[in-house]
Amino acid sequence: MKNICVRLLAVMTAAVLLLSAGSDITAEAKQKIRTKGKLKVEQVQVDVPLVNAYVYSEGKDLSRVRPEQVQAKLAGQELKVLSCQQQKKTKQGIFYAFLLDVSASIPQEDLEGAKNAIEQVAEDMRSQDQLAVITFGDKVTVISDGSAPVEDTMKKVKALRATDQTTKFYSAMDKLVKVSQKVSNKRRVAVVVSDGIDDTDAGMSQEELEEILVQSGIAVYGMGIGKNKALSEKFGKFLRISGGELYPFTAESADAKLKSLIRRVSSVYRLSMEFDGKVPKGDDLKLAVSIPGTGSFTAMLDSAYWGQATEEQKQESRKAKAEQSAGDSKTFGEDAKVATVEKTDTIADQGTISRQKLAVTIAIPSVALATIIFILVLLILRRKKALAEYYKANGIDLKRAQETEKAIRRKRKN
| Residue 93 lies inside a defined structural domain of this protein | yes
Predicted local confidence at residue 53, as pLDDT: 95
Cα 33 from Cα 40, distance rounded (Å): 10
| Residue 389 lies inside a defined structural domain of this protein | no
What is the dihedral angle through the alpha carbons of 351, 352, 358, 361, rounded to the nearest 10 degrees? -140
Number of Cβ atoms within 10 Å of the Cβ of 370: 11
Contact 85, 316 (CB under 8 A): no
Count up the domains in the chain and report the number.
1
Predicted local confidence at residue 349, as pLDDT: 53
Predicted local confidence at residue 359, as pLDDT: 66
What region does 211 belong to: left with phi over 0, alpha with psi -120 to 50, or beta?
alpha
pLDDT in tens, the chain (414 residues): 434 333 333 333 333 222 233 333 233 334 478 899 889 898 899 999 999 999 998 878 898 899 999 999 999 999 999 999 999 888 899 999 999 999 888 888 888 888 988 998 999 899 999 999 999 999 999 999 999 999 999 999 999 999 988 888 888 888 998 998 888 889 999 999 887 766 556 566 777 777 887 788 888 898 888 766 766 677 777 777 777 888 888 878 888 888 888 888 888 999 999 998 889 999 899 999 999 989 999 999 999 989 898 888 888 888 877 877 676 555 444 544 544 444 555 455 555 556 666 666 777 777 788 888 888 888 888 877 777 777 677 776 667 767 777 777 776 666
Cis peptide before 49 (omega within 30 of 0): yes
| Residue 56 lies inside a defined structural domain of this protein | yes
How are beta strands 93-101 and 130-136 bridged, if at all?
A: parallel
Dihedral of CA 85/89/94/98: which sign?
positive
Query: Which amino acid type is present at position 240?
Result: R
Predicted local confidence at residue 20, as pLDDT: 30
| Residue 70 lies inside a defined structural domain of this protein | yes
Contact 32, 299 (CB under 8 A): yes
* Residue in 307, 304, 306, 301 with CA at minimum distance from that of residue 31: 301
Cα 93 from Cα 392, distance rounded (Å): 95
Predicted local confidence at residue 357, as pLDDT: 65
What is the dihedral angle through the alpha carbons of 380, 386, 390, 391, rounded to the nearest 10 degrees? 50
Burial bucket for residue 244 (CB in 10 Å: 0-12, 13-18, 19+): buried
| Residue 375 lies inside a defined structural domain of this protein | no
| Residue 365 lies inside a defined structural domain of this protein | no
- List strands edge to edge, sheet with 33-37: 27-29, 33-37, 295-301, 285-291, 71-74, 77-86, 269-275, 50-56, 40-48, 307-308
Contact 270, 90 (CB under 8 A): yes
| Residue 314 lies inside a defined structural domain of this protein | no
Predicted local confidence at residue 413, as pLDDT: 65
Predicted local confidence at residue 6, as pLDDT: 35
What region does 134 belong to: left with phi over 0, alpha with psi -120 to 50, or beta?
beta
pTM listed for this prediction: 0.67
Q: Which domain holds residue 214?
A: 31-309
Predicted local confidence at residue 329, as pLDDT: 54
Predicted local confidence at residue 410, as pLDDT: 74
Cα 268 from Cα 89, distance rounded (Å): 10
Cα 176 from Cα 156, distance rounded (Å): 18
CATH number at residue 282: 3.40.50.410
Predicted local confidence at residue 21, as pLDDT: 33
| Residue 319 lies inside a defined structural domain of this protein | no
